Amino acid sequence: MFKIINIIIIYLIPIVPKSIIKIFANNYVAGTSIKESLQIVNKLNNQNLSVTLDILGEHTKSKSECFEITNNYKEILKEINNNNLDCNISIKPSHIGTDINSNLFKNNLQSILDQAIKYDNFVRIDMENSKLTDTSISAYKSLKNNNIGIVFQAYLYRTEDDINKLDVKSNIRLCKGIYNESPQIAIKDPYKININYLKLLKNALSNNIYVGIATHDKKLIKQSLAIIDEMKVDKNKFEFQMLYGVPMQSVINDLLNKNYKVRIYVPFGINWYDYSIRRIKENPNISRYVIKNFFLK
Ligand code: FDA
């Protein structure tokens, strides 16, 4: 019964006006401007949390927009430096050019990376759907230095091989994977995804690869910590990463008390609506509040 109510709620969410969604979006999205996002970064830094900033958006269709987004990322890197913030950036390849051509993407990424090198900062290439996996890995490998990293998804069968082919001193974020991929290429059983996640984590750490352990799955975090303990991995060889707004405070406090590094992925920008709808749908409690606010006002 509860499941059916949740499904109905998910269908009702798109008819809720943007003004109501915006109230809840504020939990997941750090405003629409660079200035607003940096205020949130500052607030999180004051709680001993590191941050990675992401400009919301994907599949940009015009060259000029790709350049504009590239310039915004460069501006962010400058502002992070000017304000002495503990923050790097995360970029979706399709946001800066892959839908137009892979050279445009690589050139834009190179230009952002140059700025990151100038300010001794770091660029993470987010991983999108499997059509972009090769392009993303190839760009990462061609640009690779200490200032750039990439993401791998534990649900893809290919990931084990991809991680095994990385150089030592690579820097990866390991996540479960969010896109709806075919069973030919992706593990579908959540339990098996977790088993693969832990195997990949072990492989990466034993190859001296820096890992951002990106999950809100409390059991998986515990199991990752057990691996880290067992392998006696140095604290500067990994960090934990979570999405802004996902209620993980007690886990975060626990990790910080044990002196582990925790980084919050903070998205912001004018394309806040679609992202917020996804987050709200993932959280049945918030979905129920949104619907109640709309129909009972
Ligand atoms: P799982 O889905 O099992 O969730 C564990 C618990 O957390 C559940 O109780 C769930 O309800 C709660 N939870 C999870 N997400 C929530 C949310 N948004 N709101 C409220 N509760 C939530 N994927 C990808 O394909 N490419 C990428 O580049 C990235 N990047 C990335 C960065 C960071 C920092 C994180 C944390 C995640 C990603 N992801 C990603 C997304 C990732 O692949 C995965 O889909 C989500 O993190 C959900 O999986 P969990 O590991 O959290 O476990």
Ligand 1 centroid – CA 89 distance (Å): 18
Would the CB of 251 count as within 6 Å of ligand 1? Answer: no
Atom 45 of ligand 1, residue of closest alpha carbon: 178
Ligand 1 centroid – CA 215 distance (Å): 5
Contact indicator for 54, 76 with CB cutoff of 8 Å:
no
Q: Which residue has the tokens 């919050």?
A: 264
CA atoms within 13 A on the CB side of 44: 27
The pLDDT score that the predictor gives to residue 25 is 75
146: helix, strand or coil: coil
217 pLDDT higher than 60: yes
Q: Of the candidates 95, 44, 103, which has an alpha carbon nearest to the alpha carbon of residue 249? A: 44
Ligand 1 centroid – CA 151 distance (Å): 13
Contact indicator for 149, 214 with CB cutoff of 8 Å:
no
Would the CB of 279 count as within 6 Å of ligand 1? Answer: yes
The pLDDT score that the predictor gives to residue 297 is 45
113 pLDDT higher than 80: yes
Q: Which has more pLDDT, 195 or 270? A: 195
294 pLDDT higher than 60: no
Q: Of the candidates 128, 116, 127, which has an alpha carbon nearest to the alpha carbon of residue 87? A: 116
Catalytically annotated residues: 126, 173
Q: Which residues pair with 54 in a beta bridge?
A: 90, 267
Strand spans (E) along 123-200: 123-125, 148-153, 171-175
The C-alpha atoms of residue 45 and residue 13 are separated, in whole angstroms, by 33
Ligand 1 pocket, mutate which of 51, 136, 239, 243 (most atoms under 8 A from CB):
243
112 pLDDT higher than 80: yes
The pLDDT score that the predictor gives to residue 23 is 77
Atom 2 of ligand 1, residue of closest alpha carbon: 217
The C-alpha atoms of residue 107 and residue 73 are separated, in whole angstroms, by 14
The DSSP code for 83 is: T
The pLDDT score that the predictor gives to residue 89 is 98
The pLDDT score that the predictor gives to residue 15 is 74
Lowest mean pLDDT among 7-16, 30-39, 96-105, 288-297: 288-297
Atom 25 of ligand 1, residue of closest alpha carbon: 177
The C-alpha atoms of residue 66 and residue 61 are separated, in whole angstroms, by 8
Question: Which listed CATH number (1.20.120.1200, 1.10.3720.10, 3.20.20.220, 3.40.50.300) goes with 30-268?
Answer: 3.20.20.220
pLDDT, tens digit, 9 for 90 and up, residues 226-278: 999 999 999 999 999 999 998 899 999 999 999 999 999 999 998 888 777 77
pLDDT, tens digit, 9 for 90 and up, residues 125-164: 999 999 999 999 999 999 978 999 999 999 999 999 999 9
pLDDT, tens digit, 9 for 90 and up, residues 18-61: 787 777 778 888 999 999 999 999 999 999 999 999 999 999 99
295 pLDDT higher than 60: no
The pLDDT score that the predictor gives to residue 5 is 60
pLDDT, tens digit, 9 for 90 and up, residues 56-95: 999 999 999 999 999 999 999 999 999 999 999 999 999 9
Q: Which helix (H) or strand (E) holds 64?
A: helix 63-82
Would the CB of 91 count as within 6 Å of ligand 1? Answer: no
**What residue ranges do the domains of the chain occupy?**
30-268
Q: Distance of alpha carbon 223 from its chain centroid, rounded?
A: 21
- Rounded to the nearest integer, the mean pLDDT of the chain is 91
Q: How confident is the model at residue 198 (pLDDT cuts 50, 70, 90)?
A: very high
270: helix, strand or coil: coil
Question: What are the residues whose beta carbons fall under 8 Å from the beta carbon of 31, sequence distance 6 or more?
Answer: 37, 39, 40, 268
The DSSP code for 167 is: P
Six token digits for residue 153: 């998804």
